[in-house]
Structure 1
Amino acid sequence: MGDWTAEAVRRVKDDQGAVHRLFPVAAREGGPGARRALLRHVDAATVVALYRNGDAGERLAVLDALADLDLGDAGLPLVEDALRTNDARLVAAALGPYGARTLDDHAYRQGVLKCVFMSIPLDGIAGLDERSDAELARMLTAYADERRAAGRPVPRDVLERI
């Protein structure tokens, strides 16, 4: 942990409110991993606020860290929000380990299908082997059939799943 990050973590431990000033500049000042280090020292409500008030990079940092934080289901609305965006980075991060663990079957399947529509590689989706089921295969098959009917290619990773 670099000097800036260590000092920022110390400040957040002393006063959780300091994270609202430090989190936005953490990537620039502390480098990779600084935001994750700060998130480990705040409560669930603060994590949610950082996501809600953050830019795309800050939201991505929160989503990427969710699996390492002890939030219970408090992070689920963040994952659901990210899945409603058109930012491929946020959608992919929403289907990381935390999303794979907390999304219900329907929401998870819809997230996978959104990844397909957004050309996000399926091999980056956490838990896909474990969470694949007949309904997801049916959805992917229907997608592939529509692509073929339109004379369009079907992505290889979709073909591997049906």
Structure 2
Amino acid sequence: MVATLDKIFEIIHENAIEKELVWLEEKTINAKSAQLAFVATPRFIGKRPISFELDNNQTKNWTLDRLVRVYLLLKLENINPDGFEEQINTLFDTAEINESIALYSALPLFQNPEKWLLRATDAVRSNVGDIFDSIAFGNDYPVKYFSELAWNQLVLKCIFNEKPIHQIVGLHSRANQHLADTLSDFAHERWAAGRKIPAQVWRLVTHFLTDAIIKDLEVLFLSNDLQNQIAATLVCSETDNSEAEILLNKYPLSINSEMLTWEYLENQSAICYE
């Protein structure tokens, strides 16, 4: 906890001007002033975009005021551990959008993160895009604490709302059979309606191939859509499933090796929906 606080303050110090640092130091002397400062932050701290690494080598692209708000929350926990839960619940209940984003961003950094599971899943159900994004992307809380059901709901909501699933921390480590089967069913629904799904979504079925999903992969190979063909090739080349190997040999794809990556499909995903 102390190490995280020190690291965050170091990042703030590197990006803030003297007037902002003076204000911040004045507002962290007690719990009440820190809580009030959390709300007042945008009046005294700039919204300049900053990039930094905080944990697990994840590069975060936030604004300075967002990072300062997270810092204030961690200081609040450090200053007033006994009253912290009540204070945070009050902030959640009264938060506007940017305050909510900071709160959800701070969840994995709290001393007892699992205590805030219901708050985190509330963000998944939010209809406010920025709030949902604050828990879904670049946040390792879901991968560490969500149940399989909650995890799948998060991933599926990203797919339904045309959001970039590759920005979800731990996407591959939490892949599961139920999610793969649901994606297959979703693909059938889209195909029946004459539509498609982003090709990179198929990365989630690689280790959960069933007879039905093998048939889906053949549909992708035969679709005359290069992105689908790339996805099918990648899935079949990343599994030891014998039927997938047969498909790989039956439908060889000769393209530039730089295109035969999930990263290439990530860059194409924004235009996959019609």
TM-score over 0.5 for the pair: yes
Does 1:7 pair with 2:41?
A: no
CA distance in 1, matches of 2:198, 2:120: 25
Which of 80, 83, 86 matches 2:124?
83
Residue in 1 that maps onto 2:96: 55
> How many Å apart are 1:110 and its aligned residue?
1.1
Match of 1:161, SS state, is helix
Which of 30, 37, 45 matches 1:22?
37
Which of 154, 157, 175 matches 1:114?
157
Which of 72, 76, 81 matches 1:38?
72
> Does the CA contact (< 8 Å) of 1:92 and 1:124 recur in 2?
no
CA distance in 1, matches of 2:196, 2:43: 41
CA distance in 1, matches of 2:168, 2:25: 31
> Does the CA contact (< 8 Å) of 1:36 and 1:61 recur in 2?
yes
Q: Deviations over 1:45-87 (max 9, x none)?
A: 1333322211111111111222222233222122111111112
Match of 2:197, SS state, is coil
Residue in 1 that maps onto 2:169: 126
CA distance in 2, matches of 1:98, 1:27: 25
Question: When the two structures are superposed, what TM-score results if normalisation uses the length of structure 2?
Answer: 0.54
CA distance in 2, matches of 1:30, 1:85: 27
> Does the CA contact (< 8 Å) of 1:115 and 1:121 recur in 2?
yes
CA distance in 2, matches of 1:116, 1:140: 9
Q: Deviations over 1:88-139 (max 9, x none)?
A: 2222322320122111111111111111111111011111110001111111
> Does the CA contact (< 8 Å) of 2:34 and 2:75 recur in 1?
no
CA 1:4–1:54 in structure 2 vs 1: closer, same or farther (change >3 Å)? same
Match of 1:73, SS state, is helix
Residue in 2 that maps onto 1:98: 141
Q: How many residues align?
A: 161
Q: Deviations over 1:7-66 (max 9, x none)?
A: 334423x32122332112314422312112111111341333322211111111111222
Question: When the two structures are superposed, what TM-score results if normalisation uses the length of structure 1?
Answer: 0.87
- Higher deviation after alignment, 63-72 or 96-105: 63-72
> Does the CA contact (< 8 Å) of 1:92 and 1:115 recur in 2?
no
CA distance in 1, matches of 2:102, 2:146: 19
Partner letter of residue 70 of structure 2?
R
Does 1:161 pair with 2:184?
A: no
Which of 174, 182, 193 matches 1:150?
193
Give RMSD over aligned pairs: 1.9
CA distance in 2, matches of 1:68, 1:28: 25
Which protein has greater RCO, CA pairs closer than 8 Å, 6+ apart? 1
> Does the CA contact (< 8 Å) of 1:4 and 1:29 recur in 2?
yes
Partner letter of residue 29 of structure 1?
F
CA distance in 2, matches of 1:148, 1:72: 40
